[in-house]
Chains A and B, each alone.
Chain A
Amino acid sequence: MTGVPLIAARGIYKAFPGVQALDNVDFDLYPGEAHVLIGENGAGKSTLMKILAGAYHPDAGTIEVQGNEVKIQNPREAHSLGISIIYQEYNLVPFLNVAQNIYLGRAPRRQTPLLGALVDHKKMHADAETLLRSLNTDVDTHATVKFLGVAQQQMCEVAKAVSVNARVIIMDEPTAALTSREIEQLFNLIRLLKSKGIGIVYISHRLNEVHEIGDRVTVLRDGRYIDTKQVSEVTVDDMISMMVGRSIENLYPRNYREPGEMALRVTGLSSQALRLRHVNLNVRCGEIVGLAGLVGAGRTELAKAIFGAAPYDSGAVEIFGQPIEKNNSPAKMVRRGVGLIPEDRKSEGLALILSVAENVVMASLERLFPRSFVSGKKEASVVDGAIKDLAIATPSGKRQVQFLSGGNQQKVVLAKWLATNSRLFIFDEPTRGIDVGAKAEVHSLMDRLVAQGAAVLMISSELPEILGMSDRVYAMHEGRVVAEVPRAEATQERLLAYMMGQENGNTRNN
């Protein structure tokens, strides 16, 4: 790379209580390039980016912006230096419209004398409109963000990042919640930004994206800088071994076997509020059944209805051959051996201010301690086992979950449900936002679960995961199960066609 880098960070250190999050890390970015940053959960990627965006201050190290050394005190200063960031966490305000969100904190004021304190809505919407069009998107600037789809919300975040006249845009796992078509849209946007000379930092756990969008790739491991390479010079396997320090043989370890007793049978389930229409499906013990569909197809809603977390109008659910009375509660389902690992871990899966240990045992307190007295020893053995089994990166079981990296939080959710000894698991996006190493671990764990006779229903937006892990796949489209595809016949193209409603499969009713 030649010329002056947009950003050059040298020798960055950052410690949090109990962890050295960054340990002498270097990073730079040139105009018009997409620099991909990869590393396992907790490697320090988000921390490094938050430092560049002024949200954290480094303990040591220097940052140069276009050749000048700077101290970035807060997000405002980062903006004025032309650095903006799309955080891993959701950062929009749900009940404001698109334009208000894009210009939050920087809304244009009226020019009329005396009215200078008021927002110039006309200008704001006109500016937002121009901006969104220049990004080739057709999001309505008056739409309330809460009611937009995930992809459009993402566009909104990108527009917000661009709107500060950014020369550097950092995207922390922007595709985690997007479907393949939406990802393509985002990539086109990134190419457009690159052609305007903007530098992009791109963080992702989807390594196949690296070659598609990246120019250079930097790898972090345990807070340490490993290497920076031209993307064209490395393979996915190279990246994996740099990330984990070893190579991973098989991302989808499956041992298929004859399915056993019926674990879950859903017949004719409909709900107007959840937009589910006459859903039929079943899962047997020893099986992993994939549930594919676009965002909004109703997969999460279906999972919640089955689990008793959302009401449905008609239909029947049977668990291990026993009919379940309509609109059961999650508490009863847990007692019947059903576990739901929800998609949105922050709001539904975890109590963020409680410790890892408290979260892990939360759903199994009654099982572990039938006499109602909590024994620290027993709890510790369960928790330590879980930390070891899932390789959760935490200094101890006592750490508050909110201080773990995103992927490790997801592992805690998994550990919590594994501790319940459930026999039917519904996984909703089990590996969203978790790194390859952990992904392989979660997958082999799922395989182990079904080997021990459990049944798994797995919702995933990653088709390779669906294809690699499932015995059978159901495809959903607009609230209906439109096809059931056995493993041997499942291909990416075929599933996509079903998911997009282009083809109607045989909806076998059994």
Chain B
Amino acid sequence: METRATTEQTKSLPSLLQRVPAVAWVLLALIAFFAMLAPGFFTLGNFLNIAVQGSVLMVLALAATIVILTQGIDLSSGAILTFSGIIAVLSMQAGLPAPLAMLAGLLTGLACGALNGFLVSWALLPPFIATLGMQGVAGGLAVVLSRAGAIYADAPFFTFFGSGRLLIIPMPFVVAAVAYLCTWVVLYQTPFGSYIFALGGNEAGAALSGVRTKSWKFGVYVFAGLLAGVGGVVMAARLRAADPIVGVGWEFDAIAATILGGTSFEEGRGGIAGTIAGVALIAVLRNGLNVIGLATAWQAAVIGTIIIGAIVLDVLLKRKGILK
């Protein structure tokens, strides 16, 4: 028995390394690759850049993660992001003070999330359908309200959240960090968090334990909508403008970051720590491809390939027992 145990040990990686998901290895490889190819890549300035660029995606990916933990899906987060930004900027243009206008943006996200939640929990629509509909509604309203063009706002309080700094840390990053902290508290320190895992892991069992599953599922979508609203306001603050197509496709990046981070659709497995790695990978990829100057059209294809490659790698290594 003893000898067998040790031979098995030597065959595979040390146990600590086994726990590092494949996405982290791919991330390191990418960083090394870009650093060798483009001198401008491996600099503090560029890493701050990546952090800013990744921040909004982080906020959105947090939302995607909690929704996927419940075995749901949110296809509307990109559209809600756009819509919330438009409402915030329009409110400022209408003369509302910046803090209130930004609040209006957040509330827009919250309301859209609430509608998603209602459709899923009580109208019993599959999340895929409900949020696909919401994608159309929020995306469409954004175009209508902005008259299909970018609209601008530059109140200092507002733009501070996009380009300001707290000491040396860029504000979007601060916002993402706060969002992460809040989500962490909700997920791991409140009963709501346990119910999120329960909804994905055993919804019927949770209901029989006396958990009000419908209300909490509603809560999940509300929270996700609020996060999308946060993302939308920060995004608009960075651009000093709201654009009716700025959020198109972001839901896919958010979902990809979640899956890359090891959260899966089975039984409520996963968590938000892995999502950081997923977001980092996508942010590094986008930035790196820009720095080495790959044409935009090619970028999408390359990013898609690498995302799928990383997920497949993770699955294969786990199946072979090399990773845990």
Question: Which residues does A use to contact B, with CB under 8 Å?
Answer: 53, 55, 74-76, 79, 85, 87, 89-96, 100, 104-107, 109, 117-119, 121, 146, 160, 272-273, 311
Contacts of A74 in B (CB 8 A): 210
The interface residues of chain B lying within 8 Å CB-to-CB of A119 are 189-191, 193-194
Q: Please tell me if the beta carbons of A91 and B189 are within 8 angstroms of each other in the complex.
A: no
Question: Looking across the interface, which residue of chain A has its beta carbon closest to that of B192?
Answer: A117
Which of the residues B11, B206, B320 comes within 8 Å of A105, measured between beta carbons?
B206
B204 at the A interface (CB under 8 A): yes
Contacts of A91 in B (CB 8 A): 202, 204-205, 208-209
Give the residue among A75, A87, A105 with the most B Cβ atoms within 10 A. Answer: A105
Interface assignment of B321: CB less than 8 Å from any CB of chain A = yes
Who on chain A is nearest to B199 by CB? Answer: A93
A87 and B209 alpha carbons, distance in the complex (Å)? 10
Give the shortest distance, in Å, between A124 (CB) and chain B (any CB): 10
Q: Is B269 an interface residue (CB 8 A)?
A: yes
Q: Could you say which residues of chain A place their CB within 8 Å of the CB of B270?
A: 95
Asked whether B209 lies within 8 Å of A75 as measured between CB atoms, the reply is yes
Q: Are B201 and A93 in contact (CB under 8 A)?
A: yes
Give the docked Cα–Cα distance between A89 and B204 (Å). 9
* B residues at A contact (CB < 8 Å): 8, 11, 185, 189-191, 193-195, 197-198, 200-202, 204-211, 267-270, 319-321
Instruction: Kindly list chain A residues whose C-beta atoms are within 8 Å of the C-beta of B206.
Output: 93, 104-105
Contact A105 B210, beta carbon cutoff 8 Å: yes
Tell whether, in the assembled complex, residue A93 and residue B205 are in contact, meaning their CB atoms are under 8 Å apart. Answer: yes
13 contacts between A and B (CB under 8 A): A89-B204, A91-B205, A93-B198, A94-B202, A95-B197, A95-B201, A96-B197, A105-B195, A106-B210, A118-B189, A119-B189, A119-B190, A146-B267
- Pick from A90, A95, A273: contact of B321, CB below 8 A: A273
> B267–A75 contact, CB under 8 A?
no
Chain B residue contacts of A100, Cβ below 8 A: 194, 197
CA distance A119 to B198 in the complex (A): 16
B261 to chain A, nearest CB (A): 14
With beta carbons under 8 angstroms apart, the residue of A53, A92, A105, A160 that contacts B211 is A105
Nearest-Cβ distance from residue A275 to partner chain B, whole angstroms:
10
Say yes or no: B209 contacts A105, CB within 8 Å: yes
| Nearest CB in chain B: distance from A461 CB, A | 23
The 7 A-B residue pairs with the shortest CB-CB distance, nearest first, are: A91-B205, A93-B201, A76-B210, A93-B198, A105-B211, A105-B210, A75-B210
**Roughly how many angstroms separate A272 CA and B9 CA in the complex, as a whole number?**
12
Inter-chain contact A94/B208, CB cutoff 8 Å: no
Q: Which of B193, B205, B209 is the most central at the interface, judged by chain A CB atoms within 10 Å of its CB?
A: B209
Distance of A121 Cα from B191 Cα, bound (Å): 10
Inter-chain contact B202/A90, CB cutoff 8 Å: yes
Looking across the interface, which residue of chain A has its beta carbon closest to that of B213? A105
In angstroms, Cα B193 to Cα A93, docked, is 12
A90 and B205 form a contact (CB under 8 A): yes
Residues in A with CB closer than 8 Å to B198 are 93, 96, 104
Shortest beta-carbon distance from B65 to chain A in Å: 13
- Knowing A89-B205, A107-B194, A273-B321, say if A94 contacts B267 (CB, 8 Å): yes
Q: A105-B209, A273-B320, A273-B321 are in contact. Are A93 and B202 (CB under 8 A)?
A: yes
**Cα distance A121–B190 in the bound complex, in angstroms:** 10
A75 and B202 contacting across the interface, CB-CB below 8 Å: no
CA distance A171 to B195 in the complex (A): 24
A106 to B206, CA, bound (A): 11
CB neighbours of B321 from chain A (8 A): 272-273
* Contact partners of B208 in chain A: CB under 8 A: 53, 55, 75, 85, 87, 91
Contact of A96 among B189, B190, B194, B319 (CB under 8 A): B194
Contacts of A105 in B (CB 8 A): 191, 195, 206, 209-211
Nearest to B319 among chain A residues (CB) is A273
A95 touches B194 (CB 8 A): no
Q: What A residues does B202 contact at CB under 8 A?
A: 90-94
User: Cβ of A85: which chain B residues have Cβ within 8 Å of it?
Assistant: 208
Residues of B within 8 A of A160 (CB): 209
Closest Cβ–Cβ distance, residue B180 to chain A (whole Å): 17
Measured in the bound complex, the distance between the Cα atoms of B208 and A160 in whole Å is 12
The minimal Cβ–Cβ distance linking B258 to chain A, given in whole angstroms, is 15
The reply to whether B205 and A95 contact each other, CB–CB distance below 8 Å, is no
Contacts of A53 in B (CB 8 A): 208
Nearest to A501 among chain B residues (CB) is B1
Task: Across the interface, name the chain A residue whose C-beta is closest to B189.
Answer: A118
Query: B194: nearest residue on chain A (CB-CB)?
Result: A100
Which one of B11, B200, B209, B268 lies within 8 Å of A104 (CB-CB)? Answer: B209
B265 to chain A, nearest CB (A): 13
Query: A64 CB to closest chain B CB, in angstroms?
Result: 22
Query: Could you tell me the distance in whole angstroms from the C-beta of B201 to the nearest C-beta in chain A?
Result: 4
A79-B210 in contact (CB<8A)? yes
In the complex, the answer to whether B190 meets A95 with C-beta atoms within 8 Å is: no
Query: Are B210 and A92 closer than 8 Å at their CB atoms?
Result: no
Pairwise interchain contact A96-B209, C-beta atoms closer than 8 A: no
Residues of B within 8 Å of A95, CB to CB, are 197, 200-201, 267-270
**A93 and B319 in contact (CB under 8 A), knowing A74-B210, A118-B190?**
no
- Given the complex, which residues of B lie within 8 Å of A106, measured CB to CB? 210
17 other contacts beyond A75-B209, A146-B267, A272-B11, with CB at 8 A cut-off?
A92-B205, A93-B194, A93-B197, A93-B198, A94-B267, A94-B269, A95-B267, A95-B268, A104-B194, A104-B195, A104-B198, A107-B194, A109-B191, A118-B185, A119-B194, A160-B209, A273-B321
Measured CA separation A273–B211 after assembly (Å) = 36
Residues of B within 8 A of A104 (CB): 194-195, 198, 206, 209, 211
CB distance from B100 to the nearest CB of A (A): 26
Write the chain A residue with the least CB distance to B318.
Answer: A273
Q: Which residues of A contact B268 (CB under 8 A)?
A: 93-95
Give chain B residues whose Cβ lies under 8 Å from the Cβ of A89: 204-205
- In angstroms, Cα B201 to Cα A89, docked, is 13
Assembled-state Cα–Cα distance A405/B121 (Å): 27
- When chains A and B are docked, how far (Å) is the Cα of A476 from the Cα of B207? 38
Assembly CA distance A87 to B205 (angstroms): 9
B174 CB to closest chain A CB (Å) equals 23
A273 to B8, CA, bound (A): 11
In angstroms, Cα B185 to Cα A92, docked, is 23
Name the distance in Å between B69's Cβ and chain A's nearest Cβ.
Answer: 9
Q: Which of A87, A117, A146 contacts B190 (CB 8 A)?
A: A117
**In the complex, which residues of chain B have a beta carbon less than 8 angstroms from the beta carbon of A92?**
202, 205
Is the Cβ of A96 less than 8 Å from the Cβ of B191?
Answer: no
A454 → B minimal CB distance (Å): 33
Among A76, A104, A109, A118, max chain B CB count under 10 A is at A104
Question: Are A96 and B210 also in contact (CB < 8 A) when A104-B194, A118-B185, A119-B189 are?
Answer: no
Query: Which one of B195, B198, B201, B208 has the greatest number of beta carbons of chain A within 10 Å?
Result: B208
Query: How far in angstroms is the closest Cβ of chain A from B232?
Result: 26
Give CA–CA (A100, B196) in the complex, Å: 12
> B267 to chain A: which residues have CB within 8 Å?
94-95, 146
> How close is A171's CB to chain B, nearest CB, in angstroms?
14
- B191 touching A107, Cβ below 8 Å: yes
Chain B nearest CB from A395 CB (Å) reads 24
Q: Closest residue of chain A to B193, judged by CB?
A: A119
- Bound: A399/B321 CA distance, A: 42
Shortest Cβ gap from B317 to chain A (Å): 11
Residue of A nearest to B69 (CB): A95
Complex interface: chain A residues within 8 A of B11 (CB):
272
